[in-house]
Amino acid sequence: MFVTSAFAQESAPATTEGDTHFGTGVPAEAHGAFPPFDPATFPSQLLWLAITFGLFYLFLKRVVMPRVGGIIDVRNDRISQDLDHAARLKGEADAAVAAYEQELAEAKKNANSIGQQANDAAKAEAETARKKIEAALDEKLGEAEARISSIKANAMKEVGTIAEDTASAIVEALVGGKASKAEIAAAVKSVAR
């Protein structure tokens, strides 16, 4: 910002023969002190400091701070929306969990009911099957008893004939003669009664 002219001087060549120092040099007192530390430049430095600070302040106030404030507002809005969305989702999740637990309780109740119904149905089927089997067995038992009684009756009829034949054979062996069939049949009938 501040440009000062440099005070450069060339030194004249040494005229003495014994002096071997040649070169250019600027003595410190030729141009004064370092400008920022020079009290003569303080007022202009303060003026430029105030102008620079004011411009920087206006730049921050009108450009940077509104942008930062806008970003912060956008973030706050996004955070509040996210929190609202999270609260809504939490409410939905809680409702879903409550509905799930209720459905699970109803399912357990229904499962117990279905199990009881299945048990009752199985008992009823078993009872029906038992009654059918008992009826079939009773029928077979009746048929068997009828067959046994018919076989017994047939056997009893034959017993009479066998008894008559046996009695006839015994009479022939003992007496040596033949007895009439009518007499033997009457004797067997009188004993069978």
Phi (first) and psi of residue 24, to 5 degrees: -110, 145
- Reported as a single tens digit per residue, the pLDDT across 24-52 is 555 555 566 787 888 888 999 999 999 99
- Reported as a single tens digit per residue, the pLDDT across 127-148 is 999 999 999 999 999 999 998 9
Query: Tell me, what amino acid is at 127?
Result: E
Q: Which residue has the tokens 């089927």?
A: 125
- Reported as a single tens digit per residue, the pLDDT across 79-136 is 999 999 999 999 999 999 999 999 999 999 999 999 999 999 999 999 999 999 999 9
Instruction: Measure the CA–CA gap between 137 and 128, rounded to whole angstroms.
Output: 14
Residue 5 confidence (pLDDT): 56
